[in-house]
């Protein structure tokens, strides 16, 4: 009888232990599941935040890139416009300068015969007449005229003794000469001039043969 009671007690204890273990396991599983769910939820939220931040960064980067492209395009267009304007200015200045020089040459070509006449007149004055007021006045006017021509860029061409150069000299005759070598200018018949390093009038010369 006693043995039977002990067996029943042991059986009840086993049942109680099983129930307790099952309840404990259920509680543990619930807690574990809750922690897992919370952790998963936090990870999902963190990923969502990171994705959102990355999306914002991408948008900002795209906006900045687009703005940089617009600035670069405007800068390039401005540089081209400035270059075109500078070329136009230089071209206009060059054309104006060329037109001025053409007009100046036309006037200077008409002035040169006046200079020639002054030189002929002064060379024809006798030694006695050179002391007079008329000759003195002619000399002063001539010097003033030559000085003003020099200021605007008109220079006489040096030719006697120089090798004949068709770009500067106009040979009208050949002469015998012991003073210069053959092919060089022996005599200047009419003075030539340059204007800003360009020939305004060729020198009329005689070349040694």
Give the other-Cβ count within 10 Å of 185's Cβ.
24
In a domain, 174, yes or no: yes
How many angstroms separate the CA atoms of 73 and 75, rounded?
5
DSSP 3-state assignment of 163? strand
In a domain, 6, yes or no: no
Which residue did the predictor score with more confidence, 192 or 70? 192
Find the helix or strand (DSSP H, E) in which 40 lies. Answer: helix 2-124
In a domain, 162, yes or no: yes
In a domain, 89, yes or no: no
In a domain, 177, yes or no: yes
In a domain, 191, yes or no: yes
- State phi, psi for 52 to the nearest 5 degrees: -65, -45
**DSSP letter (8 states) at residue 207:** E
In a domain, 205, yes or no: yes
Q: Could you tell me the CATH number of the domain that includes residue 171?
A: 2.30.22.10
DSSP 3-state assignment of 153? coil
Q: What percent of the chain has pLDDT over 70?
A: 70
Note the pTM of the prediction, 2 decimals: 0.58
**For residue range 48-81, what is the model confidence (pLDDT) as tens digits?**
656 666 666 666 667 777 888 888 888 888 889 8
How many angstroms separate the CA atoms of 147 and 106, rounded?
19
**For residue range 95-146, what is the model confidence (pLDDT) as tens digits?**
888 888 888 899 999 999 999 999 999 999 988 888 889 899 999 999 999 9
Q: What angle do CA 178, 173, 198 make, to 5 degrees?
A: 100
Task: Provide the pLDDT confidence category of residue 91 given band limits of 50, 70 and 90.
Answer: confident
Task: Provide the pLDDT confidence category of residue 24 given band limits of 50, 70 and 90.
Answer: very low
- Would you say residue 203 has pLDDT above 60? yes
Task: Provide the pLDDT confidence category of residue 38 given band limits of 50, 70 and 90.
Answer: low
How many angstroms separate the CA atoms of 208 and 173, rounded?
9
List the domain range (segments joined by +) for residue 174.
156-209
Q: In the chain, what is the greatest distance between 2 CA atoms, to the nearest angstrom?
A: 185
pLDDT in the model for residue 25 = 54
In a domain, 169, yes or no: yes
Task: Report how many domains make up the chain.
Answer: 1
């Amino acid at each position: 009888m006693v043995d039977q009671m002990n067996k029943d007690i042991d059986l009840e204890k086993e049942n109680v232990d099983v129930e307790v273990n099952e309840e404990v396991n259920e509680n543990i599983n619930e807690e574990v599941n809750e922690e897992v769910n919370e952790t998963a939820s936090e990870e999902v939220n963190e990923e969502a935040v990171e994705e959102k931040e990355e999306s914002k960064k991408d948008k900002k980067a795209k906006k900045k890139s687009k703005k940089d492209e617009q600035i670069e395009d405007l800068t390039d267009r401005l540089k081209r416009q400035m270059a075109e304007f500078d070329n136009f200015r230089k071209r206009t200045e060059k054309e104006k300068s060329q037109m001025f020089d053409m007009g100046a040459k036309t006037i200077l070509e008409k002035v040169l015969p006046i200079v020639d006449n002054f030189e002929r007149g002064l060379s024809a004055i006798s030694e006695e007449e050179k002391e007079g007021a008329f000759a003195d006045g002619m000399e002063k006017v001539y010097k003033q005229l030559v000085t003003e021509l020099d200021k605007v860029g008109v220079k006489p061409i040096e030719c006697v003794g120089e090798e004949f150069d068709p770009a500067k000299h106009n040979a009208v005759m050949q002469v015998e000469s012991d003073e210069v070598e053959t092919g060089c200018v022996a005599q200047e018949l009419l003075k030539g001039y340059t204007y800003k390093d360009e020939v305004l009038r060729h020198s009329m010369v005689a070349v040694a043969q």
